Amino acid sequence: MQEKKLNYNKTLYACFVGYIVQAIVNNFVPLLFLNFQKQYGIPLEKITLLVTINFGLQLCVDLIAAGFVDKIGYRVSAMLAHGFAVAGLVLLTILPEVMADPFTGILAAVMVYAIGGGLLEVLISPIVEACPTDNKETAMSLLHSFYCWGHVGVVLGSTLFFGLFGIENWKVMACIWALVPLVNFVLFSRVPIASLLSEGEESMSLKMLAKNRVFWLLMMLMVCAGACEQAVSQWASTFAEKGLGISKTLGDLTGPMMFAIFMGTARALYGKYGEKIRLEKFMFFSGMLCLVSYLLIALVPNAVVGLAGCALCGLSVGIMWPGTFSMAAAGLRTGGTLMFALLALAGDLGCSSGPTVVGAVAGLFEENLRVGILAAVVFPVLLLIGLVMWKKRSGA
């Protein structure tokens, strides 16, 4: 029995590293944007398309993966995801040099690892949910904290490397980061992977999910979770720049990193002490804290307070995404891979809609970012309403 538990611990470790891999594919290339502009003469408007295409393709994979993951199995799918991540990072060092247009080469490499990133998002949470652990909510929260630590590690590790060896050696760094998914590819080929459903159980079909009110409530919570997180996170560098009076480059590093550290801390704390706290209560408290942080940023005309609001927001949103996944697993036990894939899709839609609302409203008021953040208060408010509805449904 001890051996079995030890083996599933290895499965959890592989999943933790899986989220670090996702952090690598999402956060490494943005550090190279200015270098791509200088080295290849690519205009910045074109370069920023890389982020849009990366997340857009991951969104498509979220949707498509639900149709084939159960057929080929979690192990093969996880190995494929890591294989795409390795290939994309390595191709990033080759394609810009061998293709006539360097931007096309970079874009092709980004598209390859985006497939891996999208697959990881669909796979890792249900694999952890299926593991025979004592407290699944805390395991899920701890799992998602590794994306935050991966984000911080990628920024710090890459910045340190560039400081020591020069940014012109970025291809070496890309290959070093490619070793992480390569090692995890081997790990996933060996660790035991449990089934999400009990023997004889069938997962819910798309039609069954679509008719289920609980599913739509969970989808709303996921959209709000993604929007609450990214509406402020995307603007954290601006507040760091103004609040601390630092350069744009330092602001780009400090703001998002500070947000990620606070978000990761919230997830790690719940991962450690969550069995003593009811998940729904912690989620509601986090939603209230998120609302306060938005109001601080929007209504207090002080850049340092705005920066503190960003940190508080990072702390408040930490539990929202993994917490909704845990609520879904408990509330719709036979939701299966399809449910997790659709929830990931809803979360990603929230991630894009949050910053979009902030940017659009700010644009209507002479680029006033605070008015934009005030408009985005709708997301934590909807999240709190959704949690009240969940409480009534469960009678908790």
Together in a domain, 283 and 395: yes
Together in a domain, 287 and 153: no
Note if the pTM is more than 0.95: no
**Total domains, the chain:** 2
Together in a domain, 97 and 221: no
Together in a domain, 290 and 350: yes
Provide the CATH number for the domain around residue 320.
Answer: 1.20.1250.20
Together in a domain, 189 and 259: no
Enumerate residues 6+ apart whose C-beta is below 8 A from 84. 112, 113, 115, 116, 119
Together in a domain, 135 and 221: no
Together in a domain, 86 and 212: no
Boundary-marking domain end, from 174, 196, 218: 196
Together in a domain, 225 and 238: yes
Together in a domain, 262 and 310: yes
Letter for the amino acid at 7? N
Together in a domain, 210 and 283: yes
Per-residue pLDDT of the chain (396 residues; tens, 9 = 90+): 444 445 788 999 999 999 999 999 988 988 888 888 889 988 877 887 887 888 889 888 988 887 888 889 899 999 999 999 999 999 999 999 999 999 999 999 999 999 999 999 999 999 998 888 777 888 899 999 999 999 999 989 998 999 899 989 999 999 999 999 999 999 999 999 988 877 667 888 889 999 999 999 999 999 999 999 888 887 777 777 776 677 766 776 778 888 889 999 999 999 888 888 889 999 999 999 999 999 998 898 887 888 888 889 999 999 999 999 999 988 888 888 889 989 988 998 888 888 888 888 888 888 787 888 899 999 999 999 999 999 887 654
Q: For the purposes of burial, counting CB atoms within 10 Å of the CB of 167, is it exposed (0-12), middle (13-18) or buried (19 or more)?
A: middle
First to last CA, the chain: 34
Domain containing 317 equals: 199-396
User: Angle at CA 364, nearest 5°, toward 359 and 367?
Assistant: 60
Boundary-marking domain end, from 196, 230, 252: 196
Enumerate residues 6+ apart whose C-beta is below 8 A from 176. 161
